[in-house]
Amino acid sequence: MICDHLDRVLQDLTARYEQVCVVGDASIQHSVVSIQKFGEWSALWLEVSEERKSLETVQAIWDFLFAQSMTRRGVLVCIGGGVLTDIAGLAAATYKRGIDYINVPTTLLAMVDASTGGKTGINYGGLKNSIGVFAPPVETLIWPEWLKTLPAKEFLNGYAEMLKTGLIAESGRLWDRLLQYDPDQMDIAPLTALIADCVAAKEQIVKQDPREEGLRKVLNLGHTFGHALEEMNNQHAEVSSQMPHGYAVLYGLIAELYLSVTKLACPKEPLQQLTQLMLHYYGRPVCKCSDRDELIRLMQQDKKNERAAEINCTLISNIAQPVINQIITIEEANEALEYLFSL
């Protein structure tokens, strides 16, 4: 829920739970000093990154909770971006067979995607989010104040996931409203309303299919190509030149909308609109021609696949008309990559 007075909402937790502990991202510790509760409650501030999205970090949280003698009548407040809420959610879901946890997302990406829906996890065996459980937070508290400090890159990172939601959500108006939003102005009131609508659209889908057995796969639009681009780019890149998740999703959306046009006769307009956004705000993806085989291999290994070595995508036949489980041939995947890299 959107909450204008985070301190007041957090204060209520003291009445609802016997004990409250906090796990937060150390990089935002200085910016939460105005929230009194984060000073009063026992807190563990962690350095987080994809490399630290590991069992050791989950263990550090378990150790902290044991040291605080946390019981199942307590609640863990998890504050940070998606990496932090994924790890802390897993720690909460497994500590003493599961305690309540509350997410306080601090990035746009975490607000509109990671902090709702109950996917928790860590990276393992070199694979992203390969160990985890479905365990929803009891609440996700979205505090619009964070948005005021959002750097442009962070905004674009979350905006791409919002665009994805606009393309699949039942209300076609969401897509139009997202396109009308001016990223250069960063007007907080309309952005907050758009976040609330994106979260509501996601919650509606997750409620019907919490374990991603069918319908929830619509949320994967853009992610088959996006994950492959992100993984390939980030395997070798320095942290400073890594491709942010939202940028990879935007590139993935373009490749998968191209396939939506060619395979499902989706109108060309959304593809053209996304392409304009990419050229204006995100820039082109960096990739060498020789990387194409590696991208195809990564897509064939995607954990979302139901069968080995196939490429499975969610596509759309129009705005708000997603179609799951579309099997893409290697030739079609190459054609979509060719299109993306020719822009």
What is the spatial distance between Cα 74 and Cα 169, in angstroms, rounded to a whole number? 36
User: What's the token pair of residue 95?
Assistant: 């500590």
Nearer to ligand GLY, 37 or 119 (CB): 119
Q: How far is the CB of 223 from ligand GLY (least distance, A)?
A: 7
Residues 19-48 that bind ligand GLY (CB under 6 A): none
In contact, 138 and 75? CB cutoff 8 Å: yes
Q: How far is the CB of 320 from ligand GLY (least distance, A)?
A: 17
Residues 116-155 that bind ligand GLY (CB under 6 A): 117, 119
What is the spatial distance between Cα 35 and Cα 19, in angstroms, rounded to a whole number? 18
Does residue number 219 form part of the binding site for ligand GLY (CB under 6 A)?
Answer: yes
Q: How far is the CB of 338 from ligand GLY (least distance, A)?
A: 27
Q: Please, which residues have CB within 8 angstroms of residue 237's CB and are 6 or more apart in sequence?
A: 243
Q: How far is the CB of 155 from ligand GLY (least distance, A)?
A: 18
In contact, 204 and 187? CB cutoff 8 Å: no
Binding mask 154-183 for ligand GLY (x = CB under 6 A): ------------------------------
Nearer to ligand GLY, 74 or 81 (CB): 81
Q: 10 Å Cβ neighbour count for 159?
A: 25
Q: How many residues bind ligand GLY (CB under 6 A)?
A: 5
Nearer to ligand GLY, 85 or 260 (CB): 85
Q: How far is the CB of 119 from ligand GLY (least distance, A)?
A: 5
Residues 100-119 that bind ligand GLY (CB under 6 A): 113, 117, 119
Nearer to ligand GLY, 39 or 214 (CB): 214
User: What's the token pair of residue 219?
Assistant: 């949320």
Nearer to ligand GLY, 74 or 136 (CB): 136
Q: How far is the CB of 122 from ligand GLY (least distance, A)?
A: 16
- Per CB under 6 A, the list member of 53, 216, 227, 245 interacting with ligand GLY is 216
Does residue number 313 form part of the binding site for ligand GLY (CB under 6 A)?
Answer: no
Query: Which residues are at the interface with ligand GLY (CB under 6 A)?
Result: 113, 117, 119, 216, 219
